[in-house]
Amino acid sequence: MATICVAFNLYSLPRYSMAYDIRLDTQNHYLYVNLNISFEQPTTDIITLEMPVWAPGYYMIMDFPKHLSDFSATADGSTPLQWTKTSKNQWAITAQGRQLQVSYRIYANEHSVAESNVGEQSAFIAPNGVFMYVKDDKMHSVTTTYHMPAGWSKASTGLKPVGQNEGSERTFVAPDFDTLFDSPLLLGNHFTTHFTHEGHDYEFAIVPPEGFEASGITDDFKRMVSATTRLIGHVPYDNYCVIHLGAGGGGLEHLNSQACFTSGTYRFPSRDEYLRHLAFVTHEYFHLYNVKSIRPFELGPFDYSRECYTPLLWVSEGFTCYYECRLLMQAGIVDGNYLLRDISSAIRTIEEGEGHHHMSLRQSSYDIWLNFFNHSENVISYYDKGPILGLLFDIELRRLTDCQRGLDDLMRLLYNRYYLELRRGFTESEFWQSAAEIAGSELTTLRRYVDTTDDIDYESLLTPAGLAIDRDTWSLYKINKVSKAQEKLRKAIIGE
């Protein structure tokens, strides 16, 4: 193969369509991928195809192309074309004529919500590690057709199928690659249940389903969704798909779906274990607002070829941890004591570790690419300190406005202004300006606790809400005798 040094000019490239055809080898864990690019006019341009190296929500470089082999390119179905790799995730092809066919295979045997797994009973497809786009043109629409093995009949995803939805073939159209990469797929004969709730369609796709129908999770899920809709005042999807895989760890949010591992059964040994799972589901669901819609400016449109740095994941993830409990409380599934116990656990993790002396909450966000699975003593996680700030934000906003406004109002402002009106993310300065707008003043104390490693003065921030902290156990508790103002604020926070 000759080395190619000249890149094509995207704007001189003839208009084109893209269609993928995918077949599965369930014995050897392979996806056989065929891409057809049809040009409106014949071309001899150099076409560079690019594959992501990471997945949004999973903040580490995954190097998906390491699973790719047997790359080839032909013109008009027969003529071999010259191509070369120009980086670890780019393939430059000298096109010829109206049709460009590219084929390769992906080894899919990973146990991760960000990577694909093809097995004898089912296949989980994480699109970031499967599909390529024409470099610098991720906004192009794309069609994907899956040919399932004989006997398989179900394809569960946030994308809506087009054409005949029968037999072993399923076709989907994504308006752009951001949407495609945000739509994982579960293929097989897994358990599914469908329902409509408040005008929107839902699907649970479960592997395995042991105990699911008796668990009551569908009803609690509906209550949580209703509580979230009341909080934000808008639903940004037509349909939503919950993909729950077998035993494992981790979950990943998407705009109209989620993919999570479970304990492998819905026969939970205790109420606490059930609520832990339900909070996890709630966390991933609320992400469709807080990070997918209410998002830092840096998180989209994405550059999938390198790290995407933002100092605001403590809002996206930390506030979501706060809301995973608060929404269950607002749905009437748990009481305020559940929220206090959960935040106490987060405080205990932070205060009993060394990391909070060495890393700020802001830095934990920016450096997540170094620390995604790093639990050393010199770091903290925004999953722990973030929900603490969520509670303190809620208290402070309500204190400053005599309970007229709280964190819910800030989330609605960010959603309406930046997602619905401006159709973009917010900058760090815009976040703090929005918070000040809700509060009626600058939140200098809270910002210091985000930007520095200063010890948090819990007492001064908690007391207005009739709450206190036991510094021996780092447990939150309710003060017995409180003023009417404290009682009012505490009721707004924990519902009593």
Whether 158 and 256 share a structural domain: no
How confident is the model over 245-263, as a mean pLDDT?
96
pLDDT at 153: 93
Domain boundary among 174, 206, 225: 174
Alpha-carbon distances of 217 from 185, 279, 286, 412, rounded to whole Å: 22, 11, 16, 27
Average pLDDT over residues 414-432: 98
Domain boundary among 149, 174, 199: 174
Handedness of CA 396, 436, 295, 407 (dihedral sign): positive
Tell me: the pLDDT tens digits for 127-182? Answer: 999 999 999 999 999 999 999 999 999 999 999 999 866 678 999 999 999 999 99
In this structure, the answer to whether residues 460 and 346 fall within a common structural domain is yes
Q: Is residue 87 part of a domain?
A: yes
Residue 284 lies in a domain: no
Q: 118, 150, 174 — which closes off a domain?
A: 174
Beta strands in 198-277 (DSSP E): 200-206, 239-247, 251-254, 257-262
Residue 48 maps to a domain: yes
pLDDT-based confidence at residue 77 (cuts at 50, 70, 90): confident
Which residues have C-beta within 8 Å of that of residue 338, sequence separation ≥ 6? 275, 325, 328, 329
Confidence of residue 12 (pLDDT cuts 50, 70, 90): low
Contact 42, 97 (CB under 8 A): yes
Which structural domain, as residue segments, surrounds residue 170? Answer: 10-174
Cα–Cα distance, 494 to 339 (Å, whole number): 7
Q: Are residues 168 and 196 in the same domain?
A: no
Tokens of 245: 């895989």
For a pLDDT cut of 70, what percent of the chain falls above it?
Answer: 97
* CA angle, residues 303, 309, 310, in degrees to nearest 5: 120
For the record, the structure tokens of 256 come out as 């109209």
Q: What is the CATH number of the domain that holds 77?
A: 2.60.40.3650
Q: Is the pLDDT of residue 3 over 50?
A: no
**Same domain as 337, residue 448:** yes
pTM: 0.95
Q: Which residues pair with 249 in a beta bridge?
A: none
Distance CA 134, CA 92 (A): 10
Give a yes or no: residue 182 inside a domain: no
Overall domain count for the chain: 3
pLDDT at 356 over 50: yes
* Edge-to-edge strand list for the sheet holding 161-162: 79-80, 68-75, 97-107, 30-43, 16-25, 142-147, 169-174, 161-162
Task: Tell me: pLDDT of 250 over 60.
Answer: yes
Residues 198 and 343 in one domain: no
Is 184 within the bounds of a domain? no
On the question of pLDDT at 10 being above 60, the answer is: no
Q: Is residue 259 part of a domain?
A: yes
How many angstroms separate the CA atoms of 234 and 260, rounded?
Answer: 24
Residues 346 and 407 in one domain: yes
Q: What are phi and psi of 72, to 5 degrees?
A: -150, 160
Query: Look-up: residue for tokens 């269609």?
Result: 19
Average pLDDT of the chain, as a whole number: 95
Q: What is the CATH number of the domain that holds 253?
A: 3.30.2010
- Is there a single domain that holds both residue 78 and residue 215? no
Same structural domain, 41 and 73: yes
In Å, the largest CA–CA distance within the chain is 84
CATH at residue 440:
1.10.390.10
Pair (137, 239) in one structural domain: no
pLDDT in tens, 204-241: 999 999 999 999 999 999 999 999 999 999 999 999 99
pLDDT tops 50 at residue 41: yes
